[in-house]
A and B are shown apart, each in its own frame.
Chain A
Amino acid sequence: MLYCAPNKKYSDFIIVRDPDKCIDCRVCARQCSYEAHVYDESTGKVFSDDTRCVGCHRCEAFCPSGALLIRQNPSEFRDNAVWKPWFIKNIYKQAETGGVLLTGMGNSYPYPVYWDKMLLDASQVTNPSIDPLREPMELKTYLGSKPDALRIDAGSGEVRLAGGFTPQIAINYPILFSAMSYGSINLNVHKGLARAAEEMGILYNTGEGGLHASLYRYGRNTIVQCASGRFGVHSEYLNAGVAVEIKIGQGAKPGIGGHLPGEKIGPEISRTRMIPIGADALSPAPHHDIYSIEDLRQLIYAIKEATDYKKLVFVKIAAVHNSAAIASGMVRAGADVITLDGFRGGTGAAPTMIRDNVGIPIEMALASVDERLRQEGIRNQASLLVAGGIRCSADVVKAIALGADAVYIGTAALISVGCTVCQRCYTGKCPWGIATNDPFLAKRINPEIAHEKLANLIRAWGHEIQEMLGGMGINAIESLRGNREKLRGIGLNESEMNILGIKHAGA
Chain B
Amino acid sequence: MFNLKRTNHKPWDYRKDISGCGLSGLINTNGKRVSGEVITRSIRTQHDRGNGLGGGFAAYGIYPDFKDHYAVHVMCDSKTALNNFESFLKEVTVIDQQERIPTRASTTIRNAPLLMRYFVKPDLEADNPLFDKGMSEDDFMVRMVMKINLDVPGAFVFSSGRNMGAFKGVGYPEDIADFFRLDEYEGYIWTAHNRFPTNTPGWWGGAHPFTILDWSIVHNGEISSYGINKRYLEMFGYHCTLLTDTEVVAYLLDLLIRRHGLPIEIACLALAPPFWNEVDRMEPERKKLCEAIRMVYASALLNGPFAVLFAFNGGLVGLNDRIKLRPLIAAESGETVYMASEESAIREICPDPDKVWMPKAGEPVVVKLNKTE
Contacts and interface: CB of A to CB of B under 8 A. Distances in A.
Interface of A: 123, 125-128, 130, 135-136, 138, 140-142, 144, 146-147, 149-150, 152, 154, 159-161, 165, 168, 374, 377, 379-380, 401, 472-476, 478-486, 498, 501-503, 507
Interface in B198-228: 198, 221-222, 224-228
B281 interface: no
B305 interface: yes
Given A138-B276, A503-B12, A150 B296 contact: yes
A472 B224 contact: yes
Contact of A127 (B230, B235, B260, B304): B304
A141 B298 contact: yes
B328 interface: no
A380 B301 CA distance: 14
B295 A159 contact: no
B18 A126 contact: yes
Given A126-B198, A150-B296, A165-B295, A485 B18 contact: no
Contacts of A379: 235
A160 B12 CA distance: 37
Contacts of B135: none
A150 B323 contact: no
A150 B221 contact: no
Nearest to A379: B235
A154 B260 CA distance: 13
B288 interface: yes
Contacts of B270: 150
B295 A146 contact: yes
A474 B266 contact: no
Contacts of B322: 475
B12 A123 contact: no
Nearest to A141: B298
Interface in B17-64: 18-20
B299 interface: yes
B65 interface: no
A294 B158 CA distance: 47
Q: Is chain A's interface secondary structure helix, strand, loop, or mixed overall?
A: loop
B225 A474 contact: yes
Nearest to A370: B231
A375 to B, nearest CB: 8
Given A125-B198, A475-B303, 17 more contacts: A123-B224, A136-B323, A142-B294, A146-B295, A150-B260, A150-B296, A159-B263, A159-B289, A377-B235, A377-B236, A473-B303, A474-B224, A476-B301, A481-B299, A483-B225, A485-B12, A498-B10
B285 A160 contact: yes
Contact of B289 (A128, A144, A147, A160): A160
Contacts of B372: none
A502 B12 CA distance: 7
Contacts of B297: 150
Interface in B318-354: 322-323, 325
A374 B234 contact: yes
Nearest to A374: B235
A485 B14 CA distance: 9
A484 B13 CA distance: 11
Given A379-B235, A484-B227, A498-B10, A479 B303 contact: yes
| Top 10 closest pairs, chain A to chain B, by CB | A485-B227, A478-B298, A483-B227, A479-B303, A479-B225, A149-B260, A127-B222, A483-B228, A473-B224, A482-B228
A478 B304 contact: no
Contacts of B228: 478-483
A475 B228 CA distance: 14
Nearest to A503: B13
Contact of A150 (B19, B222, B262, B285): B262
A380 B288 CA distance: 19
B271 to A, nearest CB: 11
Contacts of B265: 159
Contacts of A478: 228, 294, 298-299, 301
Q: From B20, B297, B304, B325, name the one whose CB has the most chain A CB atoms within 10 angstroms.
A: B304
16 contacts: A127-B224, A136-B275, A136-B277, A144-B295, A149-B259, A152-B262, A152-B266, A377-B236, A473-B222, A474-B225, A476-B298, A480-B225, A483-B225, A484-B227, A484-B231, A485-B230
Nearest to A127: B222
A475 B263 CA distance: 25
A369 B224 CA distance: 24
A485 B15 CA distance: 10
A380 B234 CA distance: 13
Contact of B20 (A126, A401, A481): A126
Interface residues of B, number: 52
A288 B44 CA distance: 74
A214 to B, nearest CB: 31
B261 interface: yes
A127 to B, nearest CB: 4
B368 interface: no
Nearest to B232: A482
A126 B19 contact: yes
B293 interface: yes
A161 B291 CA distance: 10
Contacts of B285: 160
B16 interface: yes
A206 B79 CA distance: 67
Nearest to A483: B227
A130 B225 CA distance: 14
B292 interface: yes
Contacts of A472: 224
Contacts of B305: 127-128, 473
Contacts of A475: 303, 322-323
A236 B276 CA distance: 33
For A140, A160, A380, A479, the residue with the greatest tally of chain B CB atoms inside 10 Å of its CB is: A479
B224 A482 contact: no
A379 B234 CA distance: 11
A148 to B, nearest CB: 8
B227 A150 contact: no
Contacts of A136: 275-277, 323
Contacts of B293: 150
A240 to B, nearest CB: 24
Max chain A CB contacts within 10 Å: which of B16, B198, B236, B276? B276
A307 B90 CA distance: 57
A123 B230 CA distance: 19
A377 B259 CA distance: 15
A482 B262 contact: no
A283 to B, nearest CB: 35
A212 to B, nearest CB: 33
A159 B12 CA distance: 37
B231 A473 contact: no
Nearest to B305: A127
A450 B160 CA distance: 62
Given A138-B275, A484-B227, A161 B289 contact: yes
A466 to B, nearest CB: 13
Contact of A149 (B10, B296, B298): B296
A498 B222 CA distance: 26
A323 to B, nearest CB: 19
Given A126-B222, A498-B10, A159 B296 contact: no
A485 B275 contact: no
Given A150-B262, A498-B10, A165 B292 contact: yes
